[in-house]
Structure 1
């Protein structure tokens, strides 16, 4: 089974942009709320703080799912594997559960970095591999280049952006999506629909948004520094949105709101 679709790992906790004591405190709160999947990246600069917090969290290593992502600056034969080994050392583990390519390379040629990613799995540095921020075309290339499964394409996914092309590519390629920016960094709260629907179920607007994403078949990454929100973001498995409410939320895809836009970073592709 894909690790992200195991029930205990469908709701992951993101660590960006935290570090130090702030990160340690929220990881403690996340563990207490029930989170067992944690997401970091070389780019975040907090792998060591994440590893230190998880090492003393009181949960056995085999019960955790730890994901990290390789920085595009390390997509070369000389840098790739040493960078992954440095990540493992920082995280205080001998292998990561899932290793992702954080962004496509700036030139759009994804094949070389995908082969390096596969070599990390072949060497036992990770149990599973995947990608992040890939377009539908890139997903099809990845499926052709990589031997064995790719466990995810982690992308911006929330009700305010239409990701139907990526969902279709996920179905075609067998590379499931997972989400970051799952509440669009608060932008969803400008739309009263979520709170209105939430009243029907006794849930918050954020819980409605996150439940919609799960019902789309997309595992979550969420982050908050507030213990009550950390718990609320996790407690979304005891209700199901009706098909009518799902359709009402789907209509907001037309908003077209994106946090990450082309040109914002050197590696951002032209989105589907």
Structure 2
């Protein structure tokens, strides 16, 4: 089953860039609010804090959906498996619910890392596998390279960036998208439309943004260190945006505000 589209897992608590006690406290607050899906990565250097916090909650393991991602530096046969085993040790679990490749490899050859990812699934180290930051062509190629279903492609997704091409490609090959930078690292709050729409529903601008993403068929990763915002980000299932409001927000995607590019991350591909 695709863990990203179980009802309790459509809203994940993202842990980047939190570390130390700040990470532990935020994760604990998210669990108390009701989050059961948590997203981390080797690159974030907070898997141990994530593991500590989740163990302290005493939430049953089967209720949790824990995602981590393999660093591109570990995409070689001598490092991949060992890095995943270390992630599990740090997370204090026997398996991860979803193991993702964090970025495409710099050389563009996605096959070797996908096969190593599938090996982790075969060994029982991951219940599901996925990718991050793949283009449409990469998704098309990926489903031909490995037989194991790819449960998600985690990408930058928010209403200030038009991802229609990527979303159509994802639907074409059957790989659901999940979001990061869901509120564009605060850039959405510079646009009054979200707050104006929110007034009609008794919801905040952020809640409108997150609800728009969900209604686009994309699952969420959101992060905050403030308990009130953590709760607000979670409480977005009790309303639906009208077609008129969805269309109004859609117009803002032509803003073209992209956070993650090759200038920021060396592994970033040429985006669709």
TM-score, structure 2 as length reference: 0.99
1:101-145: per-residue Cα shift (whole Å, max 9, x none)?
Answer: 000000111111101100110111100000000011101111111
Find out whether 1:65 has 2:35 as its counterpart.
no
In structure 2, what is the equivalent of residue 166 of structure 1? 166
2:112 corresponds to 1:130: no
Q: Distance in 2 between matches of 1:98 and 1:83?
A: 15
The match for 1:178 is 178
Residue 37 (structure 2) aligns with = 37
Return the alpha-carbon distance in structure 2 between the equivalents of residues 54 and 19 of structure 1.
14
Aligned to 2:154: 154
| Structure 1: distance between partners of 2:265 and 2:24 | 28
CA distance in 1, matches of 2:231, 2:215: 19
Q: In 1, distance between residues paired with 2:226 and 2:77?
A: 41
C-alpha distance in structure 2 between counterparts of 1:218 and 1:38, whole Å:
16
What are the equivalent positions in structure 2 for 1:1-272 lying under 5 Å apart? Answer: 1-272=1-272
SS at match of 2:128: strand
Could you tell me how far 1:263 is from its partner in structure 2?
2.9
Q: Residue 71 of structure 1 contacts residue 101 of structure 1 at CA under 8 Å; is this kept in 2?
A: yes
After the TM superposition, list the runs of 4 or more consecutive aligned residues in structure 1 that deviate by more than 4 angstroms.
none
Provide, for residues 8-54 of structure 1, a one-character-per-residue CA deviation record: whole Å limited to 9, x for no partner.
00000000111111111111110111100000000000101110111
Deviation at 1:155, TM superposition (A): 0.2
* CA distance in structure 2 between the partners assigned to 1:249 and 1:149 by the alignment: 32
Cα deviation code 1:36-75 (max 9, x no counterpart) = 0000000000101110111111211110000000000000
Could you tell me how far 1:148 is from its partner in structure 2? 2.3
For 1:207 and 1:218, locate their aligned partners in 2 and report how far apart those are by CA, in whole Å. Answer: 15
Deviation at 1:264, TM superposition (A): 1.8
Structure 1 SS opposite 2:130: strand
TM-score (norm 1): 0.99
Q: Count residues with an aligned counterpart.
A: 272
Say whether the 8 Å CA contact 1:111–1:142 is kept in structure 2. yes
Query: Any gaps of 5 or more consecutive residues in structure 2?
Result: none
Gap regions ≥5 residues in structure 1: none
**Matches of 1:181 and 1:148 in 2, distance apart?**
27
Q: CA deviation at 1:2?
A: 1.1
